[in-house]
Amino acid sequence: MSKFRYDNILLTGAAGALGNQLRESLSQVSSLLRSSDREDLIKKFKNEEVIKADLSSSDEMMSLTKNIDCVVHMGGQSIEGSWDNVLNSNIIGMYNLYEACRKNNVKRVIWASSVHTVGFYPRSQVLDSKSMPRPDSNYGLSKVFGESLAQYYWDKYKLETVSIRIYSCLAEPKDHRILSTWLSYNDLRSLINACINSSNVKHSIIFGVSDNDSILIDNKYARHIGYKPKDNAEDYRNKINQKDGYIDSKDSLVTTHGGYFASAGHFDDN
Ligand SMILES: NC(=O)c1ccc[n+]([C@@H]2O[C@H](COP(=O)([O-])OP(=O)(O)OC[C@H]3O[C@@H](n4cnc5c(N)ncnc54)[C@H](O)[C@@H]3O)[C@@H](O)[C@H]2O)c1
């Protein structure tokens, strides 16, 4: 019997910021790690293969997901952008990926949804996985589509998904908002490992944040995933106060969960 829950893992967005943080740890919990991006990649790990593919091509997604058990999907438009970019990478791309997973009998998808699915909630409200979407951007809308798609593929085809509403995944918090929203790279890796190892996820939504003192979410409906964050953004508060001074509580950076995404105008008007 295999020592891994899933022998063959596909990582999309492997050339990106978070993909790069995950390659080594994923190579350690799989027999084969297939790393992919539309950008060029160089093989780094013993059991890794690299394949260049674009999410907007259904044919490329079909070949990419052959013989794969579990997908860690980090690829796509990762911030607000033009409708065309969001549509091609996050909506058409997500559909192509799920159709390919269904046809190739992939068992589980773990993917990066976002805080921007719920970005319009005021920060005075603590959110959980049952909070209704309130997207704050084209980008946030596309992530709501992704979560609905994941629910549909679980209900109809029994393809499991964990949708991770990542807040702010960075090496360290860089402003006052991120003191509440930070997800450290170590906690990201332990979250992804928990999503891989959890026995029964159906379609679960979990918030991707570290153990921050000023946390804005409650992961009570995602305890079955077994994620135990360790880092705390509070350790950086003095550094941020020294850099930025004290922030007005009415600054749109800190009035909603989505920060400036919620207060910005329509991207395509710029
Ligand atoms: N970094 C964060 O704090 C954060 C927060 C919330 C959600 N997320 C989500 O996490 C994921 C990874 O974020 P990141 O910070 O690493 O972003 P990133 O932009 O650094 O990486 C995204 C990668 O996806 C690839 N990509 C884009 N469109 C593609 C396409 N059509 N086909 C194939 N590859 C494509 C890009 O080339 C890039 O390497 C994204 O889905 C993002 O929306 C990130």
Given a cut of 80, whether residue 207 has pLDDT beyond it is yes
Q: Answer yes or no: is 231 within a domain.
A: yes
- Helix 185-197 to helix 17-28 angle (10° resolution) is 50
CATH number at residue 28: 3.40.50.720
Q: Answer yes or no: is 34 within a domain.
A: yes
Token pair listed for 59: 């044919």
Q: Answer yes or no: is 148 within a domain.
A: yes
Q: Answer yes or no: is 181 within a domain.
A: yes
Q: Answer yes or no: is 171 within a domain.
A: yes
User: Can you tell me which atom of ligand 1 is nearest the CA of 166?
Assistant: 6
Give me the residue label for tokens 């008007």. Answer: 269
Q: What pLDDT score was predicted for residue 190?
A: 98
Domain coverage including residue 238? 8-269
Q: What pLDDT score was predicted for residue 1?
A: 65
Any atom of ligand 1 within 6 Å of the Cβ of 19: yes
Verify whether residue 167 is a known catalytic residue: no
Given a cut of 80, whether residue 23 has pLDDT beyond it is yes
Q: Answer yes or no: is 1 within a domain.
A: no
Cβ atoms of 224 and 132 closer than 8 Å: no
Encode pLDDT of 151-161 as tens digits: 999 999 999 99
Q: Answer yes or no: is 3 within a domain.
A: no
Cβ atoms of 83 and 270 closer than 8 Å: no
Q: What pLDDT score was predicted for residue 14?
A: 98
Q: What pLDDT score was predicted for residue 73?
A: 99
Q: Answer yes or no: is 21 within a domain.
A: yes
Encode pLDDT of 41-90 as tens digits: 999 999 999 999 999 999 999 999 999 999 999 999 999 999 999 999 99
pTM over 0.85: yes
Share of the chain above pLDDT 70, in %: 100
Any atom of ligand 1 within 6 Å of the Cβ of 151: no
Q: For all residues of the chain together, what is the average pLDDT? A: 96
Q: How many domains does the chain have?
A: 1
Any atom of ligand 1 within 6 Å of the Cβ of 54: yes
Q: Which of 6, 139, 185, 227 is catalytic?
A: 139
- Rounded to the nearest angstrom, the distance between the alpha carbon of 78 and the centre of ligand 1 is 4
Any atom of ligand 1 within 6 Å of the Cβ of 74: yes
Instruction: Report residue 106's pLDDT band, with 50, 70 and 90 as the boundaries.
Output: very high
